[in-house]
Amino acid sequence: MEVINHLIYGFSISFQPINLLHCFVGVVVGTLVGVLPGLGPVAAISLLLPMTLRVSSPISGLIMLAGVYYGAMYGGSTTSILVNIPGEAASVVTCLDGYQMARKGRAGPALGMSAFGSFIAGCIGVVGLMLVAPPLANIALKFGPPEYATLMFLGLTILSYIASGSMVRAFMMAALGLIFASVGMDIVTAHYRFTYGVIALEDGLGLVPMVMGFFGIGEVLLNVENWVTTEVFQTKIKGLFPNLQDWKICAGPIGRGTLIGFFLGILPGAGPVIASFMAYIVEKKLSKHPELFGQGEIQGVAAPESANNAAAQSAFIPMLTLGIPSTATMAIMLGALIIYGVEPGPFLLKKHPDLFWGVVTSMYTGNVMLLVLNLPLIPMWVKVLKIPYVYLFPMILLFCLIGAYSLNNTAMDILIMNIFGLLGYVMKKVNYEGAPLVLALVLGPIFENSLRLSLVISQGSFLIFVTRPLALVFLIAAVLVIISPYIFFKKPEIIADD
């Protein structure tokens, strides 16, 4: 009964006209981001972050950013099926069978099943989020500074999973992120650190211009260098509604993909990409004719698309309840909450129930909007695919400049964005990833404050972290996270971002 009351309360917030508008804008932009190859939800959310700071409330802003994230999961399938180029990393697997279905004249059923599977998985994922998050938050309410410090330390070690390449490089980027996070005033001593007499740095390096530069400008520069001309497969798109036989074949894959995606989405570093690959592998193993996969099997579209959408919803659970982002996208959203003045973590559900339940219920609305957008508007998205990148990248750069300047109306934010844009480009060229840097940038101040407060409580003794059971558990978990890649498996290089 309590859950129903929370749902009613949440819908009363998410159904407000301003929140419905932001949800619609978010899912439209997310679909567009998914359709256009080379952009991705991380870059898109980074670029849209300044806009959300001008909206009426943090609820509206987070609803829009969430819509961009799970909307990109929907849109990515369109490029995968029609162009054989994933518009988003989680749609890589969809290329295998989706494009072959298009070549056989079944682009319509492939796109339709992708949309319906995404819708079903998205709705079930929101139900899971609604049921799992509150109990987890209640447990976390018992945390004190030592538990918070060790939990943030665990969060920082999670970057060993988020990173796809060398773990040493990942920790180097995290260290750089911690240094950037410490720029500005020390809240304990009130001394300025790493400002070098520059007044604009006394408030610290802004998260928004940094992520806009690193993921926005850096991605554009890389795409301009690696110029790719996409050719849409010329086929008549018809029969968007799958037939009864297609539904019989795909019912199981959709269900299994949803479960796989939901549980993997909660885990650090897994996210939609791993979920989609895992769902595809499971279906291929269970199939009586695994040799047909990769030749146009509709299960090869339904399972991964269901998995990546369920994972996109469940990724919000650790971010909203514990304040630990499991992916780079969630790290930016966590940073957005901090900028909005909302304290992330266990107290979010207690102090800001309107934000939590408003965002959760908006996902139901957003999934319905996406289903409507993805079926009738597919011909329009196909036309968008034909826009040359020579016209797109100047608009993206202009949007970045306006967004950075509008934050504080200072040229310093533009300068910071451009510097980090060049840094992001260079880092991508030499295979240093941005996700660990952003994660450290967001979690660093929380970790530092909790650590120093814990040491004040214990009068400088580090034993406080091993004499408190929960803190000790988090420390042990952090050690296991660090050493597990070397013991159990080597992470595949397909996981570039989320």
Q: Cβ–Cβ contacts within 10 Å for residue 355, how many?
A: 24
Q: Give residues with Cβ within 8 angstroms of 437, minimum separation 6.
A: 173, 174, 176, 177, 180, 214
Q: Where are the alpha helices (DSSP H) in 409-468?
A: 411-429, 435-457, 464-467
What does pLDDT average to over the chain?
A: 78
pLDDT at 251: 87
Question: From CA 325, how far away is CA 319, in angstroms rounded?
Answer: 5
Asked, for residue 48, whether it belongs to a domain, the answer is yes
> Of 226, 243, 284, which is closest to residue 97 (Cα–Cα)?
284
Asked, for residue 187, whether it belongs to a domain, the answer is yes
pTM for the model stands at 0.69
Higher-confidence position of 190 and 462: 462
pLDDT at 162: 55
pLDDT at 491: 44
Higher-confidence position of 321 and 304: 304
pLDDT at 486: 66
pLDDT at 204: 79
Do 478 and 213 meet the contact criterion of CB atoms below 8 Å apart?
Answer: no
The distance in angstroms from the start CA to the end CA of the chain is 36
Higher-confidence position of 219 and 104: 104
Asked, for residue 145, whether it belongs to a domain, the answer is yes
- 20 CA to centre of own chain: 21
Question: Hey, which of 30-34, 116-120, 252-256, 414-418 has the most confident mean pLDDT?
Answer: 252-256
Strand partners, 192: 185
Asked, for residue 282, whether it belongs to a domain, the answer is yes
Q: What is the DSSP string of 365-385?
A: HHHHHHHHHHTTTHHHHHHHH
46-80 pLDDT, tens per residue? 777 777 777 668 888 888 888 888 887 777 777 77
Q: Decide if pLDDT at 492 tops 60.
A: no
272-296 pLDDT, tens per residue? 777 887 788 888 878 887 778 877 8
Domain residues for 337? 2-487
CA 241 vs CA 47, 112, 206, 251, 294: distances in Å? 35, 5, 47, 15, 22
- State the average pLDDT over residues 90-98: 76
Q: Decide if pLDDT at 371 tops 60.
A: yes
Q: Decide if pLDDT at 461 tops 70.
A: yes
- State the average pLDDT over residues 151-174: 73
pLDDT at 268: 61
Q: Decide if pLDDT at 128 tops 50.
A: yes
* Confidence band for 487, pLDDT divided at 50, 70 and 90: low
Question: Hey, which of 320-329, 347-356, 432-441, 459-468 has the most confident mean pLDDT?
Answer: 459-468
Asked, for residue 496, whether it belongs to a domain, the answer is no
Q: Decide if pLDDT at 497 tops 60.
A: no
* Confidence band for 495, pLDDT divided at 50, 70 and 90: very low
Question: From CA 97, how far away is CA 104, in angstroms rounded?
Answer: 11
Asked, for residue 493, whether it belongs to a domain, the answer is no
Q: Decide if pLDDT at 444 tops 50.
A: yes
> Of 36, 51, 14, which is closest to residue 368 (Cα–Cα)?
14
pLDDT at 141: 65
Do 328 and 497 meet the contact criterion of CB atoms below 8 Å apart?
Answer: yes
pLDDT at 493: 42
Asked, for residue 79, whether it belongs to a domain, the answer is yes
- 217 CA to centre of own chain: 18
Question: Hey, which of 85-99, 229-243, 341-355 has the most confident mean pLDDT?
Answer: 341-355
SS3 287: coil
pLDDT at 165: 62
Asked, for residue 90, whether it belongs to a domain, the answer is yes
> Of 345, 391, 437, which is closest to residue 148 (Cα–Cα)?
345
Number of domains in the chain: 1
- State the average pLDDT over residues 342-350: 77
388-435 pLDDT, tens per residue? 767 777 877 777 777 677 666 778 888 888 888 888 888 888 888 777
pLDDT at 403: 67
